[in-house]
Structure 1
């Protein structure tokens, strides 16, 4: 991570916003069961901002980092066009068909909030109104965004080794927090196109779709 942090410092010097990950949080919204193939495709369409959800594909969608597959190996990348996101959708759909989920409690959507820190003077410059809602837009280079994604990915893996306590979680949900019995990661995305504010704290969502067991 020292190399990643050095890259981020260089990109800040070049003009990237000094947005940095502070911590991630699990809450009672973190887990939702996906109960059918149709629901899985609907969730993928929403996360990729395509099909019935293409109206959510604003200019800041370029900041999102999506999981794609190269052979059997996951790769993480940003996209520039709806065609690229449609291609990812087709790839993940084929992959899901190959691993044959049963939709009987074996497919789950995990949503983790990634809370960020940024100097207040910089933050005020990034505030704007989009479709009537107050949000933020951050000018960041590709290298900086990918480094920020790496921090979120590492924080999620580290959370699996911590004694996480969320009152409403079931034992099965705790197993997913610990990444126990997770057979496949069907999809992941860091949604930086919709950065929100919670009591003055800014966050985005890091979303994963898990196949349990196997």
Structure 2
């Protein structure tokens, strides 16, 4: 597994090749970052929404190719993270997530948890103007990044999520149980994870996107 230093160096090389120098800054837990998934039907709906398939296929715009999804091998043992290029790719990930679900046999009575964390990215001063454009008569931005660069951003998001430390000021709006989940206390397997870069917000020099994780909760 590459170290963050190696990932950073690879990203620097991609910037020299033309990738937008967007950099990970921090994570933010909003007011309601956790939702309970208490049935298999709800879990399947969440997976379909994240992958923009089935009834949610209408949300799959061109920028969906920037999304990073957790995928598994045929034996559901080695998770990897990738971008997709077609609905067939995303349906394949969904099918493997279904097999992984059967292997884990989650306890819906105990509950699964969908966590939504906001990832904040920044650009060097003065860089944003280079990516300003007009689309359909409206002013917007186009941040062009290579596959390796986007996967590098995801790696930084994932590492930051795993290394969250206690902060009573930042997390006191959460319940005691939610604060435990923030610290990954009582959290079991990760059933699925995705960084959705097809749904971003940009303003004041910062771009933000959501990192979604479905956890199996352990007995409290």
State the match for 1:167 in structure 2: 172
Tell me, in whole angstroms, the C-alpha distance in 2 between the residues paired with 1:136 and 1:122.
11
Residues 10-65 of structure 1, C-alpha deviations (whole Å, 9 max, x = no match): 11011000000010111212101112111111111111011111111111111111
Equivalent-residue separation in structure 2 for 1:148 and 1:106 (angstroms):
30
Residues 135 and 197, structure 1, Cα contact 8 Å, conserved in 2? no
2:195 & 2:84 partners in 1: Cα distance?
A: 12
- Within 5 Å, give how 1:11-160 maps onto structure 2: 11-70=14-73, 71=75, 72-127=77-132, 136-159=141-164
Q: Is the 8 A contact 2:28 2:118 kept in 1?
A: yes
CA contact (8 A) 2:116 2:213 kept: yes
Q: CA RMSD in A?
A: 2.2
1:207 aligns with 2:207: no
Q: Contact (CA 8 Å) 2:37, 2:108: kept in 1 or not?
A: yes
The structure-2 alpha-carbon separation of the partners of 1:69 and 1:2, relative to structure 1 and needing over 3 Å to count, comes to same
1:177-188 equivalent positions in 2, closer than 5 A: 177-188=182-193
CA deviation after TM superposition for structure 1 residue 175, in Å: 1.3
Shift of 1:167: 2.9
Q: Take 2:203 and 2:176, find their aligned partners in 1: how far apart are those partners?
A: 28
| Residue segments in structure 1 that go unaligned for 5+ positions in a row | none
The one-character-per-residue Cα deviations of 1:95-120 (angstroms, maximum 9, x if unpaired) are 11222223224201000000000135
Deviation larger for 126-135 or 56-65: 126-135
Deviation at 1:93, TM superposition (A): 1.4
Contact 2:128-2:205 within 8 A present in 1 as well: no
Offset from partner CA, 1:69-112 (integer Å, 9 cap, x none) = 12311111111110010011111112112222232242010000
Cα separation, partners in 2 of 1:107 and 1:157, compared to 1, 3 Å: same
Contact 2:72 2:78 in 1 (8 A): yes
Q: Is it true that 1:197 corresponds to 2:202 in the alignment?
A: yes
Q: Which moved more, 1:75-84 or 1:124-133?
A: 124-133
Change (3 A) 1:129 1:29: farther
Aligned residues: 213
Q: Judge conservation of contact 1:63–1:145 (CA < 8 Å) in 2.
A: yes
Secondary structure of the residue aligned to 2:72 is strand
| TM-score with structure 2 setting the length | 0.88
